[in-house]
Amino acid sequence: MRRREFIAGLGGTAVTWPLTVRAQQQAAKLPTIGFLVAGTPASHGKWVAAFVQRLGELGWIEGRTVAIEYRWAEGRSERFAEIAAEFVKLKVDVIVTTATGAVIAAKQATSLTPIVFTTVSDPVVTGLVASIARPGSNVTSLSQQTNELGGKRLDLLHKIVPHLHQVAVIYNPANPSTVSEMAEVHAAARTLSLKIAEIEVRRGEDIAPGIKSLQGRAEALYVLTDPLVAIHQLLINTLAFEAGLPTMHARREYVVSGGLISYGASFPDLFRRAGDYVDRILRGAKAAEMPVEQPTKFELVINLKTAKSLGLWSPRRCLPKPMR
């Protein structure tokens, strides 16, 4: 009996092993997406989830019909090149990125692997594509029009905050996108007769002293979108609130975490639409021939609790109607 059991056990092993090898071989053949996320799961996780959900709707089920390699740069721009090089070494089928600096690093790492960006302010100005209609390289996807909205955000802040004369702008000068938007903000400030006080942040440690230095120098704080800023959004809003500074942002999430107002493209929508680009590329489309698309969904969001606490809202005072 023991002999028969032993032989049966061997037979079971002989059957199971080839099946396991076959499953591993099938998994290894899955199309692979390398996702270079500029922030953290906390700061970017919801947007990444929107992308994955859209892929699923298009038939790309993670672990079954497609594999996704996630790498979180945690707001450290120096990691972009390292992660991009890793994806090239892994021979992923497409690279997805979430910030201008990350796209630049990916493009420098490869001219062959298709690159889909989810959020870039102006891909033409930054040299990522030849034109919106015909990118002409391995890079394409969606522009968030950050620069074009800079003036509108500053104008909104000017209308909401009484007696506004000087606005502080917090930004990361290592990010080409924020540098470009800063130029737009300065141009709008001249039109509105506002003064600008710049706060440069290259590390998380720069944020607290930068905001604390604003005492008596500004009546509001304009926060330029950046992965470093994104992972410290709660700290920025807390310090700004303590200093009595109303804040302007580009993303809804910053207002949910205590900021005053945001106006910009819907990031969940941009990430979902990036899934459409990846779907087409995995089915044979060429990135060079896929036009860069513009946002179609914008959100104006106001935190009324913050507005009341800062004395900017009352039943008699009208604010722009927030979009839900």
Give the domain ranges of the chain. Answer: 11-16+23-145+266-296, 146-265+300-309
Distance, in Å, from the CA atom of 188 to the CA atom of 185, rounded to the nearest integer, reads: 5
Instruction: Establish whether domains 11-16+23-145+266-296 and 146-265+300-309 are of one fold.
Output: yes
Taking Cα atoms as reference points, which of 37, 94, 31 lies closest to residue 59? 31
pLDDT at 8: 39
- List, for residues 126-141, the tens digit of each pLDDT value: 788 888 888 989 999 8
Distance, in Å, from the CA atom of 36 to the CA atom of 309, rounded to the nearest integer, reads: 38
324 CB contacts (<8 Å, ≥6 apart)? none
Mean pLDDT of 143-155: 81
- Classified by CATH at the fold level, domain 146-265+300-309 comes out as Rossmann fold (3.40.50)
Tell whether the model's pLDDT for residue 324 goes beyond 60.
Answer: no
246 CB contacts (<8 Å, ≥6 apart)? 157, 160, 161, 219, 220, 221, 240, 260, 261, 306, 307, 310, 312
Distance, in Å, from the CA atom of 197 to the CA atom of 167, rounded to the nearest integer, reads: 6
Mean pLDDT of 269-297: 94
**The token pair that represents 139 in the structure block:** 């890079």
pLDDT at 24: 45
Query: What's the pTM value of the predicted model, to 2 decimals?
Result: 0.79
- List, for residues 178-212, the tens digit of each pLDDT value: 888 898 899 999 999 999 999 999 999 999 999 99
pLDDT at 274: 96
Identify the CATH class of 11-16+23-145+266-296.
alpha beta
Taking Cα atoms as reference points, which of 151, 188, 145 lies closest to residue 297? 145
- List, for residues 214-227, the tens digit of each pLDDT value: 988 899 999 998 88
**The token pair that represents 237 in the structure block:** 């809003």
